[in-house]
Each structure stands twice: as C-alpha cells, then as structure tokens.
C-alpha cells in the first residue's frame, strides 16, 4: 500500500522561491510513499541517500538507487514512488541557473555534491548560506557524469498498457505472443512496435524493467531471494545470472560498489 509522501513544510510552493537552488529532505517510514503526477516551473534533482525512488515521466521510468540522482527538467510532468525507509532529497533548481540537460537523465553524485545537498536541505530558502551553497552545487552538478538507468515507455497506447501492467505486476510472465493477443496485434507486429518505440527487443525491454524493480527493492532492504520470487524467477540462481549478465556484477557487489564510489556504476 502506498501512502502520500509527507513533506516537512506546508503551504509552501517551491516555484515561488527565487533562490538558484533549494533542497528538501524527506524521510519515508515503514510503508511506501508516492508523490502523484505534478510538475514544477523549476527543474528537480531527485537524490536518494538510502532506499530507492522510481520517477515516472511521460517517456519512461527512471530508477534512483542510493547515492545517485535523477534530473527532471522544469515543466515536465512526473510522479515519484519511494521505497519504505527511504531517505530522499529533492533539489529544486531555477531555470537557467546552471547548464543542465533539457531531458531526464541520471547523474552520478560525488561525495562533495552529496554533502552540499545535505547541507542545503538544512538551510531556509532566505538564508544567505542557502544562496552560497546553492551556487557551489550548481557549479558542481553539471560536471557529474551522465548515466542512464531507465525503462523507455512510448506514448503508443498499446505499448503503454503493457508497460503499466508489467510495472504493476513485474512477475507477469506472459509471452510476446500472449501480450500480442492481449492488445489485438500479431506477434510480429508487437515485436516491431516495441523495437521501433523503445529501441529494445521485447525480452530486453522487460528485463530492463526487472532490473529497475530489483535495484529499487534491493536498495530498500529486500533480500535477493525475495526479489527473485517477486519477479517470477524460478530460482535465485537464475535471477543472479540475469543480473550479472546485464550489469557485470552480482546484486550485492553492484549495490556495494555504488555506495563506495558515489554511484558511477549503471546500466548503459
């Protein structure tokens, strides 16, 4: 069950604040939390120091594992779903305040940038220290390596229906032929549609979703055994083999390396 994400302030619109950058720290309790679809004039960096966050935008799903950040440009509709016990920071950036992409992307977060975000979240927007820290953050953020950890989703209605069904039930193991029948297409037509709209085969596209869900759940403290079962794998060994083939490392090693190097290991 998902609960609305509880903000540390009320009657406060981030778009009304003209500071170049402000940050908000939110701790999620024992249940998952969600911010429903919305948009800001400001751009937003979603950063997780613990747990995981999934950002949904019109073009896809973006995963925010620990020590990483997803950039959402201003004016783009999005929603955020956080795992239980996540420690999240939202950094709101004034349009034009830094040379940042006009599309969603995943940033590696350096130790310096991590500390700047944490310090900035402790400042009131009208505090002089907020302006000082924000300007350093905006000089540092564009220098971070841009990576990708997302599931491309098309606006094509049949493909979006499949994506939403798989996101709700990642263990759904229907074949390409069964999905084609579900959306009233031939198997070959659906196969072409997925490749044309996402650049991935259907099998690779579904695997990408499994990796996103797996990283989110593992980051929130779920065991490899539990995640393997939740994704419908016949054995833990099969799940670990898929994970290692895709990311080059088994799950525990992958998450450990992310925590140690500030998030430089990603799906390309």
**SS3 (DSSP) at 206:** helix
User: If you write DSSP's letter for every residue of 65-100 in order, what string do you get?
Assistant: -TTEEEEE-TT--EEEEE-TT-EEEEEEE-TTSS--
233-to-107, 248, 251 alpha-carbon distances in Å: 30, 19, 15
Helices (H), the chain: 111-121, 128-140, 157-168, 176-182, 187-198, 202-219, 224-230, 236-247, 251-261
Query: Is 0.85 topped by the overall pTM?
Result: no
Task: Look up residue 220 and give its DSSP letter.
Answer: T
Say if residues 148 and 62 touch (Cβ distance below 8 Å): no
Provide the pLDDT for residue 267. 43
Q: Decide: 136 and 129 in contact? Cβ < 8 Å.
A: no
- Output the DSSP codes for 25-56: EEE--SS-EEEEEE--SSEEEEEEEES-EEEE
Distance CA 13, CA 187 (A): 48
pLDDT of residue 242: 94
pLDDT mean by block of 10 residues, the chain; 268 residues: 50 80 84 79 91 83 79 93 83 95 89 94 84 94 82 86 86 95 96 94 92 82 92 94 91 77 45
pLDDT computed for residue 6 by the predictor = 52
CA triplet 118, 83, 261: central angle to 5 degrees?
Answer: 50
Q: Exposure pattern of 55-85 as b/e (b: 16+ CB <10 Å)?
A: bbbebbbbbbbbbbbbbbbbebebebbbbbb
Angstrom distance (rounded) from CA 198 to CA 240: 25
pLDDT score for 148: 62
Say what the pLDDT of residue 268 is: 37
Rounded Cα gap, residues 209 and 227, in angstroms: 13
Question: Sheet containing 21-27: which strands, arranged edge to edge?
Answer: 21-27, 87-93, 43-50, 68-72, 105-108, 146-147
Q: Environment class of residue 194 by beta-carbon count within 10 Å: exposed (0-12), middle (13-18) or buried (19+)?
A: buried
């Amino acid at each position: 069950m998902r609960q609305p994400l509880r903000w540390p302030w009320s009657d406060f619109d981030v778009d009304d604040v003209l500071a170049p950058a402000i940050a908000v720290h939110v701790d999620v309790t024992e249940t998952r939390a969600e911010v429903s679809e919305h948009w800001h004039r400001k751009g937003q960096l979603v950063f997780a120091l613990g747990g995981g966050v999934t950002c949904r935008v019109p073009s896809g799903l973006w995963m925010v594992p620990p020590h990483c950040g997803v950039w959402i440009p201003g004016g783009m509709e999005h929603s955020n779903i956080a795992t239980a016990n996540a420690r999240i920071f939202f950094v709101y950036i004034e349009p034009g305040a830094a040379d940042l992409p006009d599309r969603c992307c995943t940033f590696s977060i350096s130790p310096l940038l991590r500390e700047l975000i944490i310090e900035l979240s402790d400042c009131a927007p009208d505090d002089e220290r907020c302006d000082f820290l924000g300007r350093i953050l905006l000089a540092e953020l564009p220098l971070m390596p841009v990576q990708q950890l997302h599931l491309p989703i098309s606006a094509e209605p049949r493909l979006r229906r499949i994506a939403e069904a798989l996101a709700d039930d990642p263990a759904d193991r229907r074949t390409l032929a069964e999905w084609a029948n579900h959306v009233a297409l031939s198997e070959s037509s659906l196969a072409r549609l997925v490749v044309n709209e996402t650049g991935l085969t259907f099998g690779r596209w579904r695997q990408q979703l499994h990796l996103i869900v797996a990283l989110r759940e593992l980051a929130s403290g779920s065991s490899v055994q539990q995640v393997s079962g939740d994704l419908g794998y016949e054995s833990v060994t099969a799940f670990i083999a898929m994970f290692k083939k895709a990311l080059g490392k088994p799950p525990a090693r992958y998450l450990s390396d992310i925590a140690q190097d500030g998030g430089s290991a990603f799906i390309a």
